Amino acid sequence: MRACGMDFGTSNSAVSLPVSAGGVTLAACEDNHGTLPTALFYPATAAANTPPLVGRQAQKLFFEGEEGRFMRSLKRLLGTSLMTQNTVVNGKPRGFDRIIGDFMQHLKSKAETAAGSTLDAVVIGRPVHFVDGDSAGDSAAERQLAAIAKGCGFKECTFEFEPIAAAFAHERRVEEEKLALVIDIGGGTSDFTVIKICADYSRKKERREDILASHGIRTGGNDFDKQLSLAAFMPLLGYRGSYGDKNLAVPLAPFHDMSEWSKINFLYTPHMRREIADILKASHAPEKLARFAAILEHETGHKLLGTVEDTKIALTAAAQTEAPLDFIERGLCAPVSRGDFNRAIGADMDDILNCMSACLADAQIGAGDIDIVILTGGPTETPLLQEAVRAHFPAAQISEDERMASVAIGLGHAAARRFL
């Protein structure tokens, strides 16, 4: 039986293959890249059963103005009521299980090309909680993902917590036992694990005794995008405005949905366009709300949120930046500082750090007991988080190796232990 590890992420994905001598390699998912954005694009001109474009190619064509349906952050739909609904792809209904299956099929195909054989088994990474405070939704999410994997041709499918997989990827370089805290912040979730790691332990078939605690929360980099969008971008589009003689508040929900990757497509309906058009007639700031109406009309919400994400990334290195919004209105831009960003994500950051503290408490240890902090996932580059982690663990080694691929690499090691 040939097996692989698959990191189906909210923002980025990867697939890994066990190789000789206990090693793991990443399959080239897109050109020579070992990771690819979790994005799909169904061109309007493509035949009904044509596979979608994925990753960077999907983003490139969509942002260049190609007609079609673009989707991101589909992982956040797992375990929610939205998974039971259809969406419209180029005029025809399509289930989200089929859409996620299209993306997973691409990963499997690329992995099989790299392996030179059919892959029968997979270990898929999962967050500690797909859905916060909803055990039924959490179980449903795992069942849905397993069914999608088997629909793609995998005969065996098991799961591993993503932060535990990240620990597996790091421990082969650790000669003596160390107590590690894994901080895995992805697009949709933040997950934590306290685990004993050591190169010798990597050969164990069972690791339960080494895992002291795992915690997670459904807050991640996409939530940072959302909060930045609402704080610095949506006010330019009429957010928190008013209309009419009675000074009624413009509904907030459309702006919140426009700030969340997984919900943008649900706004592109005749009903929503009519609702905003009616409010626009009596708006007290029509020049702003007209911009929001234009985004609905031209379906450029993903392009807007892409600009928000680029701004977030720019503020990792810069104290301030100006985000160009010429695609909405010539000369329009959003000036944003790192201070603005920090304030926007403050509540989310508190939730993340509180979850981290809960994980330590559950493991019955203090911050001083941690030898290594393993940071994985793009959002761990956020300066506010970096400062908090280094302040909380001043004596610990900070490991940031393979930040974007450590989960996938660890899942490959898990696949080797379970299936080979």
From the first residue on, what is the mean pLDDT of each consecutive set of 10 residues in the chain (420 residues)? 93 94 90 94 86 95 89 93 86 91 97 96 96 90 97 97 95 94 96 96 88 97 97 98 97 98 92 98 98 96 96 96 97 98 98 98 98 96 97 96 92 93
What domain range includes position 102? 3-174+401-419
- Identify residue 34 by its one-letter amino acid code: G
Q: From 182, 170, 194, select the one nearest 375 (Cα to Cα).
A: 182
Position 19 in a domain: yes
Rounded to an integer, what distance in angstroms lies between the CA atom of residue 122 and that of residue 157?
5
pTM of the model: 0.93
Q: What is the DSSP letter of 20?
A: G
Position 228 in a domain: no
Position 28 in a domain: yes
Position 376 in a domain: no
Position 407 in a domain: yes
Position 369 in a domain: no
- Identify residue 404 by its one-letter amino acid code: M
Return the pLDDT at 1: 62
Position 110 in a domain: yes
**DSSP string spanning 209-276?**
GGEEEEEEES--HHHHHHHHIIIIIGGGGTTT-EETTTTEEPPSHHHHHHTSGGGGGGG-SHHHHHHH
Return the pLDDT at 420: 83
Q: What is the tally of structural domains in the chain?
A: 1
Position 145 in a domain: yes
CATH number of the domain residue 17 falls in: 3.30.420.40
User: What is the widest separation between alpha-carbon atoms in the chain?
Assistant: 74
